[in-house]
Amino acid sequence: MIPKYCFKDDDGQLWFKESLTPSVGNSLRIDNLVYADDSDLQHLLLFDNETHGRLLAIDGLVQVSLSDEFIYHEMVSHVPLFAHGSVKSVLVVGGGDGGAMRELLRHTGVERIVLAEIDGEVIDFSRKWLPTVSNGSFDDARVEIKIVDGVEYIREGDETFDLIIIDSSDPVGPSAVLFTEEFYRDCHKRLAPGGMLVTQSGLAAIHSDVVENTSLYFSRIFKHHGFYAITVPTFSGGVMTLGFATDDAEKMSPAAGSIESRFEASGLDTRYYSPAVHRGAFALPRYLEALLKR
């Protein structure tokens, strides 16, 4: 039986077919099928590929690849932490693979992380099959795991955080609610003074409407907002954007030398992130600038 989202070519080789939109897709050869089944909420597919190593796809969309997951996880975590300079509490919505928490926990100043993940099976799955991604982060004493709907948790709670990271899947299906103005307003209420919101905002060339709408929503809610760009080879479709919003001007544009001095003091050894990459990521291509000015 051929698993969901897969097909065999004329030579009998099994392939994974990712459909990013009705007209755009990507195929990856499955050299070793590790797991394919439904959880209570979504379909999980795990396989090995010669180029990208082990990959996890959820509901037909690639979420993690061992070859390049460090790019996304370093940038979604270190950019806001070094921009802020004194983050103590973090809320991560989604992020069931544990990669973002792995990077957040490398900062000794972070005292508390709440992980709000809707599907507990994703956490169990990641612990078993992708242990290097979380690297023990689920068991860190500073982490509190809540198996909850992130939208409801943010809307109904009152604890505030220095940083909220929306580490969601693509803006389709169940995750679509995480890209709405109402949700961002609820996030704003849960930020401590000087707090920041970082969101996964889709592939700009494919999900241009998401980038445009997010910019519009942020402009109505926050005093300062913008986007920074990363390129992750496994996420086919070009530049991925990460939304960045705060009411604190200095957090949006840290003073010259501040990021550099914070990074040096941290002693972190990173594979992708650097202060230069941090600042350069906010220099967007002109087509993206034009999109945000519509």
Between the two ends of the chain, the Cα-to-Cα distance in Å is 48
Strand partners, 38: 43
Q: Of 167, 170, 186, 209, which one is the catalytic site residue? A: 167
CA distance 55 to 58: 10
Active site (annotated) includes residue 37: no
66 in Cβ contact with 54 (< 8 Å): yes
Give the angle subtended at the CA of 213 by the CAs of 207 and 205, to the nearest 5°.
20
Q: Which residues are catalytic?
A: 167
